[in-house]
Amino acid sequence: MHVFLSYARSDDQIVQPLSALLCAVGIRPWLDTTGLPPGTLQWDHMIRHALRDAHAVIAVCSENARESQYVAIELEIAKGYGKRIFPVWVSGEEWSQSASVGLVLSQHIDLRPSKRQEGAEELITSVKRHLASLPTMDAAMADRWPLIRVTWRNRYVDVNPFVHNDWGELLSEVYLKLVREDFAPFSYGETWVLEISASEDPFAFWGWPLFALPADWVATPYRGVHEVSPAWVHSSPDFELSSIIQHGKERRGRGQVQAEHLVRAEARVIELSTLQQRAATGMRGLRDRPWDNENPQHNFIGLRSRCRTFWCFASGAHPKMTLMRLSGSDRTKDGCAEAFAFFGLDEPRFEAVTIQTEYFEHLMMRRLNRPAVQWNENIIEFE
């Protein structure tokens, strides 16, 4: 499931940053340039299937789009399937000259250059509100986005992150529906936590467990997040959880790595008392330091950064990759940062916690250029 983008190919210069922006805030876009591999046969059937399976359609309206027969056909098919259509106006002097006939009388969002920031904020809010209203889908469906399956032992609960105003509400749903028989109330961060890495086993070799916790939890680990950072509990969870839970299919060659980030749909409940054993048995080969029982804060690193850093960690990327992307002039540009700049929006910042290892410290703490990061105690702030 996804949100379908209907547009004229000549509007690609705004559609690409729009797609990256949507992905970064947890909204999964579908474009014909990425959804249809080169050489796809019967592409018209693929387009129909993509529209059928979409949760909504964003119609990118311009004078170019108005003249496109493909856009007109896509919108008619979308209407036939009863899909919610969000018209966005990207260029032109008059709305009536940019919209297709069937959308002229529709409410629209202005994304023209002078209104990009306000329009992008309105579009994101509107689409999230629509996704929050979706009925629960059949659990047997292979693709249940935007639902996130949270697993614990042999049980699970499907959560729609767009429904919740903050992390506290989301965690309350997980607690009440999944783990209340095993943990005390208000014990998140004390006895249990969500593990959100994309790796099947983030404790395995080269995997990096990533816990949904505020960075300053590492100063007083095994304390509830309500004692550590109430502001984190009341921060919005939707784009954070949806965006962090992604994995990359990386192709390496000639010193370059291209990653295709796809929205994941699973998180795991981890009992915090098992971390020492799991880290000791699962992360062998990383030259780990002994687990420090006297100073528990030495076992963890708190992270605050922007989208791409967390995508690296969540996908279990080699820390050298993260180093290259973050360290000063070596930081690679990515569509996420450029998309937020294009629309004049602040790139969202994420917080999480991972396990400290000697290997991690050697590559990250000692080799990152100091202007690129700041750290206090075991908290790293990536600029």
Q: Which of 113-122, 177-186, 199-208, 341-350 has the lowest mean pLDDT?
A: 199-208
Above 60 in pLDDT, residue 240? yes
Above 70 in pLDDT, residue 244? no
Closest CA to 25 of 116, 129, 111, 101: 129
| Other beta carbons less than 10 A from residue 285's beta carbon | 9
Above 70 in pLDDT, residue 191? yes
Residue 212 has φ and ψ, to the nearest 5°, of -75, 85
Q: Are strands 379-382 and 300-306 parallel, antiparallel or unpaired?
A: parallel
CATH number of the 2-132 domain = 3.40.50.10140
Tokens 């032109």 correspond to what residue?
A: 92
Q: Which of 2-16, 290-304, 352-366 has the lowest mean pLDDT?
A: 352-366
Let me know the angle formed at the C-alpha of 233 by 307 and 350, rounded to the nearest 5 degrees: 10
Closest CA to 145 of 130, 161, 129, 156: 161
DSSP 3-state assignment of 122?
Answer: helix
- Give the start-end residues of each E strand in the chain: 2-6, 29-30, 54-61, 85-89, 109-110, 148-152, 155-159, 192-195, 246-253, 256-263, 266-271, 300-306, 349-355, 373-376, 379-382
Name which residue leads in pLDDT, 210 or 243: 210
> What predicted TM-score, i.e. pTM, was given to this entire model?
0.85
Average pLDDT, the chain: 82
Above 80 in pLDDT, residue 125? yes
Query: Under a CB-based contact definition with an 8 Å cutoff, are residues 322 and 312 in contact?
Result: yes
The pLDDT, as a whole number, for residue 257 is 40
**Could you state, in order of their start, the residue ranges of all structural domains in the chain?**
2-132, 148-382
**What is the C-alpha separation between 61 and 65, in angstroms, rounded?**
6
Amino acid in the structure at residue 77: I
**What is the C-alpha separation between 114 and 110, in angstroms, rounded?**
9
Above 70 in pLDDT, residue 44? yes
Residues 6+ apart with CB under 8 A from 47: 32, 36, 74, 77
The pLDDT, as a whole number, for residue 247 is 43
DSSP secondary structure, 137-170, as one string: PPTT-S--TT-EEEEETTEEEEE-GGG-SSHHHH
Residues 290-346: pLDDT tens digits? 788 898 888 898 888 777 677 677 666 666 777 776 665 555 566 677 888 899 998
Q: In the chain, what percentage of residues exceed pLDDT 90?
A: 43
Length, in residues, of the chain: 383
For range 31-46, the mean pLDDT: 62
The pLDDT, as a whole number, for residue 375 is 57
Above 80 in pLDDT, residue 18? yes
Q: Which of 21-35, 38-52, 201-215 has the lowest mean pLDDT?
A: 38-52
The pLDDT, as a whole number, for residue 19 is 92
Residue 47 has φ and ψ, to the nearest 5°, of -65, -45
The pLDDT, as a whole number, for residue 361 is 72
Above 70 in pLDDT, residue 136? yes
The pLDDT, as a whole number, for residue 370 is 59
The pLDDT, as a whole number, for residue 6 is 95
Name which residue leads in pLDDT, 298 or 283: 298
Q: Are strands 246-253 and 256-263 parallel, antiparallel or unpaired?
A: antiparallel
DSSP category for residue 36: S
